[in-house]
Amino acid sequence: MDRVKQKARDLLDSNKVQVVIGYEEGTDGTARPVFIMDSKNIDKLIFNDRCYHNLAVYLTKVEVEKIGRVAVEASLNTLKGIVKLASEGQFVFEDIDILGVNRNGELYEFASLDEVIDYIDQHPVEYSPEEISLLRKIESMTREERWEYWQEEFSRCIRCYACRAACPNCYCDACIVDINQPQWISPTPDALGNLEWHIIRAMHLAGRCVNCGACAKACPVDIPLNILNLKLAEEISKNFGISEEFLLTNYPLAIYDPNDKENFIK
């Protein structure tokens, strides 16, 4: 962690960056994102298991762009978010300074986007046993049980859009829920509106999601949104035989294979 701090300090002191986005101790035992603009505060920086926020989410925010050049304390998930955003043209990779951190908080430096991709590739996504077992449990339900399960989960949704706000890939200036000509999704936080919202959120992230789980962690009412993303990630890899590495910089729903399955098409 010392090397991370040192590099962050150097970047700030040399005015190469105007802000370092990282993690600090929050209240009540939490860790939280922090924005350090003065190197004397650099000792606030931490990294541990509680640092789950995907900091890539801040890189597309107007408030952050306004500050100047940014350095990010980047966990694996944040790195994935950065690569994805760069591949979707949301910023130029070289315009961001990366303070890569591994699980132990040790500094990783990357000279190029390719190096980041290699690094990500060497660390394939690991789903927790809890995630997998919930996914399998839902899959093994009958259709009616699945319906009841999700209706129950979605019934808690208050449409605060924390899931959207916490997701690095939900960077649209005008989200489809905010469009009312036509009214794509019912704005009401009732069963239909909530179902439509969660369907469209999952579909818009299908093939783009970096599976960081930030959406589910942000949800104030504990809807397991990550399971929806995980399900679609599995379906995409199963049906289209696409690797995680390929997905980082490609969008599988904008390409096709003439031999894609069609056993469901009459």
Contacting residue, 3, 33, 125, 244, with another protein by CB under 8 A: 33
Question: Could you say whether residue 171 binds another protein (CB under 8 A)?
Answer: yes
Q: Which residues contact 128 (CB under 8 A, 6 or more apart)?
A: none
Footprint on residues 35-54 left by another protein (CB under 8 A): 35, 53
| Location of structure tokens 């989410």 | 57
Taking the C-alpha atoms of residue 249 and residue 247, their distance in angstroms, rounded to an integer, is 5
Question: Could you say whether residue 217 binds another protein (CB under 8 A)?
Answer: yes
If the CB atoms of residues 3 and 231 are measured against another protein, the closer one turns out to be 231
In degrees and rounded to multiples of 5, residue 20 shows phi and psi of -110, 125
Contacting residue, 2, 94, 126, 144, with another protein by CB under 8 A: 144
If the CB atoms of residues 125 and 202 are measured against another protein, the closer one turns out to be 202
Taking the C-alpha atoms of residue 147 and residue 188, their distance in angstroms, rounded to an integer, is 20
Using CB under 8 A, count the residues that bind another protein.
98
Footprint on residues 149-168 left by another protein (CB under 8 A): 149-151, 156, 158-162, 164-166
If the CB atoms of residues 111 and 264 are measured against another protein, the closer one turns out to be 264
Cα separations in angstroms, 198 against 14, 154, 213, 224:
45, 8, 15, 11
Question: Could you say whether residue 94 binds another protein (CB under 8 A)?
Answer: no
Footprint on residues 95-124 left by another protein (CB under 8 A): none
* CB 29 to another protein: min, Å: 10
Contacting residue, 16, 26, 48, 103, with another protein by CB under 8 A: 26
Taken in order 110, 116, 34, 69, the sign of the CA dihedral is positive
**Residue length of the chain:** 266
195: left (phi over 0), alpha (psi -120 to 50) or beta: alpha
